[in-house]
Structures are given as C-alpha cells and as structure tokens.
Amino acid sequence: MPGMYQETMSTFRFQQFSVEQSQSAMKVCTDTTLFGAMMPICPGDTVLDIGSGTGVLSLMAAQLGAGHVTAVELTASAHSESQSNFRQSRWSDRLSGVHQDIQGYCKNCSERYDLIISNPPFFQQHSRSDESLRSIARHTDQLSYPELIVAAEKVSTQQTRLYLLLPVHAVRQFVGLARDMNFFLIDRVDFRGYGRNSPKVAALTFSRTPGYFISRVHTIYEADRVYSKESEHYLSPFLLRFSKD
C-alpha cells in the first residue's frame, strides 16, 4: 500500500534517533512520518503529543526544535516503549511521558501548550482489527473526537495550535466540532500516494482564532519507491535514505 513502511521491523532507524516498536500496536509508516516532518513547530515550543504510541512524533518534534514535549499514552506497553526510545535519544531531557488517558491528564493539568499534536484513532465503530491493542490505537472508542477537542481546549491558550492527522472522510465532522470549541482550521494538506490516487488522510492545523485558510494536495511518490521533490524536502532531515554521511 502506498504510504506505508514495512510494519514487521522491530526497530525503525532515523538519521538522528531510532524507534523500537516491537510492543506498540501502531508501527512507523510514511503518512505518520511525513505528518511529523511537516509539524508547525516554532523553536522552543512546548508540545503535547496525544496518544504518543512509540513516541515517534515526540522525537521528531524534539529534532525540529521543540523546547519540551509531553507524550501521553494510554496503553502500558506503548508508554514503556516510548520511554525507552526517549532515554536513548539525544533529547531525553526535553521528552517526558505520561501513562494516562488524555481526558484525565488534561482535566488536572496546569500546563498550557504552544502546540498540541495527535495522530488519533482513525475509525469510528467500523473496520475493526482483531488485535486488541491495535484496535485501541486505531479506533475512537477510547477517545472520541469531541473528547479530543475538549481535552485540547483545557490545556490551550489563545496562541495554541492543534495539529492532527485524520482520514479524509472525517475532516468535515471534526472541523465542525472543533469550530464549536473555537478551534479554526487554517491549513489542510491532503496526502495521496501517487498522482493517480485519491487522498486518504489529511494533516490539519487549527488556530484558536480565525485566519487565512490554505488547502493543498501533497503527492508522496512520483514513481515506485521514488519520493516526490516536496516529500524529499520534508523527509530529508529524518530518513536514512537521505543521509549525507
């Protein structure tokens, strides 16, 4: 399937860090990596990673210049794995993990974040996986879209940005729910594997105040196993295939 790396790899190696993923339900994939590489990070940002899994997005945020990243993960195995990945990275002093549901964490959290990121559950009550942990990671039973928005609102300021990866079919619903909580869509990037494909997922950036809206389609590959120039631009600081060493 275009956009997906091999999921059988127990460790995924990037240029500046590695991600152990043998215990986590969701593995490193192209869509997630591209989503992370395109994060709207400002130097020194405090970042909240909701449903952090292996911690790959948190690690990418640190590489992009985040001042501190808090990774909140519900499942014990993924949390443990992310903690190991953080400790082995060069940014261990800027990464912290919390083993808790995001609803409970945000309810009692006094911290306010500059950027909130999430690659949240993809499906609502359909296309279930038989594997329980993977099911939790991919479905909204444990964290519905309204709950995600409410949690984000509790740890936001008027300057906070919310950055999500969602399936295209869920975008309109989420945008409406977010608007009700004063999160306004300002940037949308639809990902498609090849020029002939229809987009399946979209990277969305929300602001707490209405602003100029930008929308575009990003084509990941220009040919089989050949990234487009735009993809190469974003991925070249991360993937080993683009290393100059």
pLDDT of residue 27: 83
**Four-CA torsion 68, 238, 26, 106, nearest 10 degrees:** 20
pLDDT of residue 22: 84
Written as tens digits, the pLDDT of the chain (245 aa) is 344 444 446 899 999 999 999 877 778 899 999 999 999 999 999 999 999 999 999 999 999 999 999 999 999 999 999 999 999 999 999 999 999 999 999 999 999 999 999 998 554 333 444 444 444 344 445 689 999 999 999 999 999 999 999 999 999 999 999 999 999 999 999 999 999 999 999 999 999 999 999 999 999 999 998 999 999 999 999 999 998 87
Which CATH number applies to 11-242: 3.40.50.150, 1.10.10.10, 3.20.20.140, 3.10.180.10?
A: 3.40.50.150
- How many whole angstroms separate alpha carbon 171 and alpha carbon 192? 15
